[in-house]
Amino acid sequence: MIIRQARIEDCESIYAMLRRYKDASPLKAHQYMNEETAKQAVQFIIEKRHGLILLSEDNDEITGMIMALYTMNIWDQKIKYMQELAYWVEPEHRGTTAGYRLLSKYAEIGDQLMALDVIQYFTISKMVTSPDLDYTRFGFEYLEETHICQAV
């Protein structure tokens, strides 16, 4: 199993994983999202290098991904951070090292970007349907909870 940065030729595989991510999401609004927006985000991150898409790969098969975008802090535009947008491991590859390796590499790259002063912090989210991982093992600290009211 390897973890690598996504390339433009990986886009179709990434789009397919994003569809499965959307379908499995407990956020009802995801069900009505415009796929073109997701495609533009993927291309923006890969082509403009304005974020990060890491892929887990086993025997030339893409098994998962973590996707993040560089953005600015609402209180100070000089403060940049990396926000995770999607973290997905294909169901048949859950229970392998794919998820752990993706998160570990994400944290490693986040630390490198902070050391280079590209970003000042980076985030990871956990949906209610996500496995109960100990994110502190990767250097994250618990900060907040998000609650949502959804239209039916």
CATH superfamily of 2-138: Gcn5-related N-acetyltransferase (GNAT) (3.40.630.30)
Coil, strand or helix at 37? helix
Q: What is the pLDDT of residue 79?
A: 92
Closest by alpha carbon to 14, among 41, 32, 47? 41
Q: Are 68 and 106 spatial neighbours (Cβ–Cβ below 8 Å)?
A: yes
Low-confidence ranges of the chain (pLDDT < 70): 33, 127-131, 147, 152
Q: What is the pLDDT of residue 146?
A: 76
pTM for the predicted model, two decimal places: 0.88
Distance from first CA to last CA of the chain, Å, rounded?
40
Domain residue spans of the chain: 2-138
Q: What is the pLDDT of residue 118?
A: 94
What span, in angstroms and rounded, lies between the C-alpha atoms of 124 and 100?
13
Q: What is the pLDDT of residue 140?
A: 83
What span, in angstroms and rounded, lies between the C-alpha atoms of 139 and 108?
9
